[in-house]
Amino acid sequence: MNQLDQLKAFTVVVADTGNFKQMAQYAPRDATTNPSLILKAVQQADYAPLLTDTIAAHKGEPLADVVDQVLVRFGREILKVVPGRVSTEVDARLSFDTQATIARARGIIKLYEDAGIVRDRVLIKIASTWEGIAAARALEADGIHCNLTLLFSFAQAVACGDGGITLISPFVGRIYDWYKKQAGAKWDEAAQAGANDPGVQSVTRIFNYYKKFGIKTEVMGASFRNVGQIQALAGSDLLTISPDLLGALQADSAPLAKALDADAAQSLPLDRVHFDEPSFRFALNEDAMATEKLAEGIRAFAADSVKLDALIEGAK
């Protein structure tokens, strides 16, 4: 078997793309999207009719509503390809507004349900700010499942687990990027690879903590820079992988070993911890990497949301 098929034996494989015409060849169970991926997809000729048709069908509606219609239309098309779930993201500009995030998420779910898609097939993506986690907690109580994204710290993961969130997406590659940049010329790629990769270590710590204490929140490693990071997290609940890395796994027939083990986590000497708002904010502040990458990620997604707004506004 190729490594992609081997990986599927103990980890749910998720396609990290808005290109639903490309993902079928890898047979993922789920798919994730974000504003950057959707922006990239809607500018491709193959998807131009989908964009123009959706805009035409909702002329005169507020821009934010039309944007969500476009996001949901992509999600619906993706769900024709994958048998599981699609993640659709709430506008990153709402990352610090709990009530606005809740309202936007409910609106997105309603669009899916109006189109005949049951809510269990949709994950609402929300940035892992304190306000975002609070919104997700309220949404989960209403049966709306959430994917907490832009997750870089243990404190974020603990708060999500305590909040009963369905799934988290810790960003492996962006953690790796930060530490590599900080090290500069001192960075040793070989020494920091595999299980020694700082992004891999972060996800491993979260995975082991969740499994040790029976926390039901699913761990989905995301934002990979190389196949080695994926191999080092084989056994995670899910991994969301870009098409180029899915292709690399599919082309490799070397044996792939399970790296993370929920049963083995039971014997680890770990302590249960909790965070209230003050301690959460302080822990995040103490983690320079997580603080910087969370802010940077929100800014980048917000900027692409602005670009998507402009593209749709110009086509109306």
Q: Which of 8, 21, 40, 125 is catalytic?
A: 125
Confidence of residue 48 (pLDDT cuts 50, 70, 90): confident
Average pLDDT over residues 197-217: 98
Question: For the CA atoms of the chain, what is the radius of gyration?
Answer: 19
User: Is the confidence at residue 227, as pLDDT, over 80?
Assistant: yes
User: Is the confidence at residue 316, as pLDDT, over 80?
Assistant: no
Cα dihedral 70/75/77/79 (nearest 10): -170
So what's the pLDDT on residue 20? 87
Q: What pLDDT, in 10s, does the model give residues 66-102?
A: 999 999 999 999 999 999 999 999 999 999 999 999 9
Q: What pLDDT, in 10s, does the model give residues 180-193?
A: 999 999 999 999 99
For residue 125, the SS3 value is: strand
Average pLDDT over residues 149-161: 98
pTM metric for this prediction: 0.96
User: Is the confidence at residue 213, as pLDDT, over 90?
Assistant: yes
Average pLDDT of every residue of the chain:
96
- Say how many C-beta atoms besides its own lie within 10 A of residue 279's C-beta: 13
Average pLDDT over residues 133-151: 98
Our answer to whether residue 216 is catalytic in this structure is no
The position carrying tokens 């699609």 is 86
Per residue, what are the HEC states of 158-191?
HHHHHCCCCEEEEEHHHHHHHHHHHHHHHCCCCC
User: Is the confidence at residue 314, as pLDDT, over 90?
Assistant: no
Confidence of residue 315 (pLDDT cuts 50, 70, 90): confident
Least confident of 36-45, 169-178, 181-190, 218-227: 36-45
Confidence of residue 35 (pLDDT cuts 50, 70, 90): confident
User: Is the confidence at residue 42, as pLDDT, over 90?
Assistant: no
Task: Extract the tokens encoding 106.
Answer: 């409910």
Domain covering 3-315 in this structure, CATH number = 3.20.20.70
Nearest to 241 by CA among 229, 252, 253, 251: 229
So what's the pLDDT on residue 34? 87
User: Is the confidence at residue 130, as pLDDT, over 80?
Assistant: yes
Q: Where are the domains of the chain?
A: 3-315
Average pLDDT over residues 265-281: 98
